[in-house]
Amino acid sequence: MTPTPAVAGKDTMHQNPPPLTTTTVTVAYAGGDERRGPLTMGQANMIRCILRDDPTHINIHDVWPVPEGTSSAAVTDALRALAVRHEGLRTTFPHLPGSAPVDQVVAAEGTFTVTVLDHTELPADPAGYAESVARAARAGRFALEREFPLRITLLTVAGQPAYVALAFSHAVADASAMAILREEFAELLAGKELPGLTSLPPVDLAAVEASPAGLRKSEASLRYWERILRTGPQEMFAEPRGRRPGTDEEARQLTLRSRRGGRALAGAARRTGHPEATVLMAAWCALVAHRAGQDSCVTAVPSANRFHARVARSVTTTSQDALLHLDVRVPAFDALVSRTWGAVLNAYRHSQFDSVRLWEMIDRVTAERGSHFGRDVVFNDVSALPAPILGTDAQDGADAEQELTWGPPQALPTRMLAFTYRTTPQLHISLWAAPSVFTPEEAEGFLSGLVLLLEAAAAGDVPMEALAEVTGVRPAERGPDWLRVDGCWVSPDAVRETLGRAVDGLPVRVQVTKASGAEPHLTAYIACGETPLTPTGAHRALTALIPAAGSGVLAPHRYVLVENPPAEPDRSDAWRRLNTIDEGTGRSRQV
């Protein structure tokens, strides 16, 4: 799950005078078909989060401006038409308490409510006020089995509609679906006739996913993910000051608007002969990997799974990550752009999967590897959507040559989240960067550095070794004890401390061994005395702590149990001379 893009500025709802009147209008709809079927993979993925996560984090919202002169009846008529047109908006998910839904039910008719807040006048920042109303409506879990999946508030001035503020259940909509609905709402109010639907409704999409071809696609996706989970870095930002993804942080929104960036991206695309989206992704991955001090960039790309026509304009949630694993070990930027094209397509092809089986696989693989996969980096490019979710401040600063503005904070279950809202005529990106690994100055420097990289790439090929000089972004600093183990940055001291806590304070020594030409291996010695312990028990106890442990913790490759610590416990050779009680990898599968 990714946080919904927020608008720069303060949450103004509590600062504004109350509306003159509050009225609830019930709107009836009819004319659709009644249907029932299994969940789509995207629905199952999001419902899993809905039942588990804080609703203010998982619910999503948007604000739709209403053209001047539009009547309230026209607004409700347009909303009614959207409900009839899109089965996803008429869908509920029946289930017993304590269980998860397995089916979706589409109603042929029903009702929804619109809360009308009438004002004598709107505050000085009316768009920001509408945004705060929509955001507030995200509070409270949607009743999946019975509630209409939109909470709708109509803001009026002396009876004249100004904005529709909406909160959506993430089970029926994602950012792309909201963009489609916003576009169609505007067209309905303009008196236009909507074209026929070209993408599948959720029930039909579920049938395609459950077909033999759909199941083969899901299996291929799981194999693709497993390869990355077994070989890629488990946390992008592994550094002494980092925190693991098991602990959410609150991060402020930082928004870049840059005509310089837009011109540079267009120029780099022309020079390299690759699409702007590919060049921007390559620049993002290059700078993330450079800042993290990694040989590759692992980033989730949530909007990637709408590239097929059957889901491109479907009003449902397709919220399943494409997982991009891009090796950045190339001499110069042009070679990375060429490599990015194929890597992105490969990630897109493998973004449809059974989310329950995916998480079972993640749990199994990370337990065997002795790690915790962190969804550290998320890059969501929604600039190609027909009506991008730009936020109510989309036009602010539209002529800015380059500006950075700070907005409100929100919970961040990742270390770095970016939304690209537009690439022309300006580059418009919002970034949420975890304070544990990015100071405010470093976050600003990262976005500024991205523009500098694009400008350099527009002028010529950029050596990868020159990224610090070109962008001003410095790689993470690690102490001399940090080293690469199994493709991950690891601190043996952090491993020792975490393993010591896992085995209830027993004496622990972590030894680093490195054969010629091979990666370092970690061996943990544990003096267990009379405590009953096995390598398997030690490994399980450690992996249970890793998600919330400090950064740089990876399980040792081998556990050696001895009775008592040596007289000189800081010497590895002293531990090696002790009699061994038991030893092994602790894994269910040998590594």
Mean pLDDT computed over 158-170: 96
CA–CA dist 490, 376 (Å, integer): 16
* Higher pLDDT pick, 390 / 510: 510
In this structure, of 39-43, 82-86, 384-388, 482-486, the range with the lowest mean pLDDT score is 384-388
Buried b (16+ CB within 10 A) or exposed e, 20-53: eeeeeeebebeebeebebbbbbbbbbbbebbbeb
The CA distance from 353 to 384, in Å, is 24
Q: Is the pLDDT of residue 98 over 50?
A: yes
| 279/388 same-domain check | yes
Same domain, 221 and 152: no
Question: How many Cβ atoms from other residues are within 10 Å of residue 241's Cβ?
Answer: 14
Instruction: Write out the residue range of the structural domain in which residue 554 sits.
Output: 483-584
Instruction: Tell me the C-alpha distance between 65 and 168, whole Å.
Output: 17
Q: Are residues 275 and 423 in the same domain?
A: yes
Whether 442 is covered by a domain: the verdict is: yes
Secondary structure (DSSP) of 348-417:
HHT----HHHHHHHHHHHHHHHT------EEEEE-TTSSS----TTTTTTTT-SSEEEEEEEEEESSSEE
- Average pLDDT score, the chain: 89
Residue 359 to residues 192, 210, 587, Cα–Cα distance (Å): 44, 19, 18
* Last residue in a domain, options 148, 173, 197: 197
- Chain-centre distance of CA 315, in angstroms? 20
- Residue 11, in any domain of the structure: no
Q: How confident is the model at residue 14 (pLDDT cuts 50, 70, 90)?
A: very low
Whichever domain contains 421, its CATH number is 3.30.559.30
Whether residue 29 contacts residue 109, with contact meaning beta carbons closer than 8 Å, is answered with: yes
The SS3 of residue 213 is helix
- In this predicted model, what pLDDT tens digit does every residue of 52-86 receive, in sequence order? 888 888 899 999 999 999 999 999 999 999 999 99
Q: Are residues 463 and 492 in the same domain?
A: no
- Give the pairing type, strands 558-562 and 521-527: parallel
Backbone angles phi, psi at 434, to 5 degrees: -60, 130
Average pLDDT value for residue range 479-494: 92
Which string of DSSP letters, residue by residue, matches 91-106? EE----TTS---EEEE
% pLDDT > 90, the chain? 71
The string of pLDDT tens digits covering residues 259-291 is 999 999 999 999 999 999 999 999 999 999 999
What pLDDT, in 10s, does the model give residues 293-306?
999 999 998 765 67
Q: Tell me the C-alpha to C-alpha distance, in Å, between residue 171 and each of 43, 264, 467.
A: 5, 38, 41
Residue 6, in any domain of the structure? no
Whether 169 and 236 share a structural domain: no
- Measured distance CA(414)–CA(374) in Å, rounded: 8
Look at residues 61, 54, 77 and name the one whose alpha carbon lies nearest to residue 7: 61
Residue 546 has pLDDT above 60, yes or no: yes
The angle at the Cα of 559, spanning 544 to 366, to the nearest 5 degrees, equals: 35
User: What pTM did the predictor assign?
Assistant: 0.82
Q: Residue length, the chain? A: 591
Please give the Cα distance from 585 to 264 (Å, whole number).
51
Percent of the chain with pLDDT over 70: 92
* Domain boundary pick from 138, 162, 197: 197
Mean pLDDT of 228-237: 92
Residues 6+ apart with CB under 8 A from 558: 521, 522, 523, 524, 535, 583, 584, 585
Average pLDDT (407-426) is 89
Confidence category of residue 1, pLDDT binned at 50, 70, 90? very low
In a domain, 202, yes or no: no
Tell me, yes or no, whether 322 and 452 share the same domain.
yes
Q: Is residue 8 assigned to a domain?
A: no
Domain of 539: which CATH number? 3.30.300.30
Q: Flag whether pLDDT at 515 surpasses 90.
A: no
* CATH number for 103: 3.30.559.10
Cα–Cα distance, 94 to 101 (Å, whole number): 6
Domain count, the chain: 3
Separation between Cα atoms, residue 419 and residue 430, nearest integer Å: 5
Q: What is the dihedral of CA 203, 208, 214, 218, to 10 degrees?
A: -20
- Strand boundaries in 31-77, DSSP class E: 35-38, 60-65
Pair 565, 424 in one domain: no
How many Å apart are CA 57 and CA 2, to the nearest integer?
8
